[in-house]
């Protein structure tokens, strides 16, 4: 337990990174699930695929928290802040493991008989367009661009941004923030173009474009505020 206390900051940083790893694995598992089930009628909808692991993550968080609090508070070296170990370390790790487990189980659902084999390597004939180019061009469906890249991608980016590692690496934090803004703007462009390419105009298209416009407005306000503060200093 003394070793556990000495590595508390490292475990804290890893716990903040664990949701990123979980979301990355979930995205990869969903891609495999789509390849194994090319028939959309037998494929789990994207919204259900997102909500199901998140619901399990919410259920797993208190279980991991209780375990972490019990583990840390049994050692007097943790002091009065022993409860933070459960909330900041074991809780997020338990939620991340739940996401990986549930999405992995979905990936192993029986494949369609006519499903093509999953490629094991890249060849010039089978080379695919990189995901970021397809996103920028609006070649993904509106649902995948909006929920997968615009919402979930930005959420993962924000989780990375609050990682305590940046407290000890301020230069990395200054570099990361513009990269995150660039990703959010690029994903917003992809959502807008996917909405324009959608064959039917509907409330979903209007809602997606409204969300993108709000993002641009928020970033514009933050940029103006930063410029004003810099001028007053």
pLDDT digits (tens, 9 = 90+) for 112-155: 775 455 555 554 444 567 877 888 888 888 888 888 888 878 87
d(CA 99, CA 93): 10
Q: Tokens 């929920």 correspond to what residue?
A: 147
Q: Which stretches of the chain drop beneath a pLDDT of 70?
A: 1-9, 79, 114-128, 162-169, 200-201, 233
pLDDT value at position 166?
65
d(CA 27, CA 152): 10
pLDDT value at position 115?
44
pLDDT value at position 200?
66
d(CA 178, CA 233): 22
Q: For 25, phi and psi rounded to 5 degrees?
A: -60, -40
d(CA 182, CA 185): 5
Long-range Cβ contact pairs of 119-122 (< 8 A, separation 24 or more): none
pLDDT value at position 101?
92
d(CA 19, CA 97): 9
d(CA 20, CA 159): 7
d(CA 214, CA 203): 16
Tell me which residue of 139, 132, 141, 157 sits closest to 208, measured CA to CA.
141
pLDDT > 70: percent of the chain:
84
Helix (H, G, I), strand (E, B) or coil at 99: helix
User: How many CB atoms neighbour CB 155 within 10 A?
Assistant: 12
d(CA 33, CA 42): 10
Residues in the chain: 233
pTM as predicted? 0.57
pLDDT value at position 167?
64
């Amino acid at each position: 337990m003394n070793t556990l206390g000495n590595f508390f900051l490292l475990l804290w940083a890893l716990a903040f990174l664990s949701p990123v790893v979980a979301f990355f694995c979930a995205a990869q598992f969903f891609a495999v699930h789509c390849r194994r089930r090319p028939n959309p009628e037998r494929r789990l909808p994207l919204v259900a695929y997102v909500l199901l692991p998140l619901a399990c993550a919410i259920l797993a968080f208190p279980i991991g928290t209780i375990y972490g609090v019990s583990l840390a508070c049994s050692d007097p070296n943790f002091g009065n802040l022993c409860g933070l170990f459960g909330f900041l370390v074991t809780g997020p790790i338990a939620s991340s493991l739940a996401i990986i487990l549930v999405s992995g189980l979905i990936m192993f659902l029986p494949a369609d008989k006519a499903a093509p084999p999953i490629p094991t390597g890249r060849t010039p004939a089978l080379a695919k367009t990189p995901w970021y180019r397809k996103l920028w061009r609006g070649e993904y469906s509106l649902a995948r661009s909006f929920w997968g890249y615009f919402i979930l991608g930005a959420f993962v980016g924000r989780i990375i941004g609050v990682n305590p590692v940046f407290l000890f690496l301020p230069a990395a934090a200054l570099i990361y923030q513009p990269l995150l803004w660039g990703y959010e703007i690029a994903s917003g462009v992809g959502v807008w173009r996917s909405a324009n390419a959608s064959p039917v105009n509907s409330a979903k298209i209007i809602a997606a474009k409204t969300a993108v416009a709000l993002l641009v407005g928020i970033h514009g306000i933050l940029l103006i505020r930063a410029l004003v503060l810099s001028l007053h200093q």
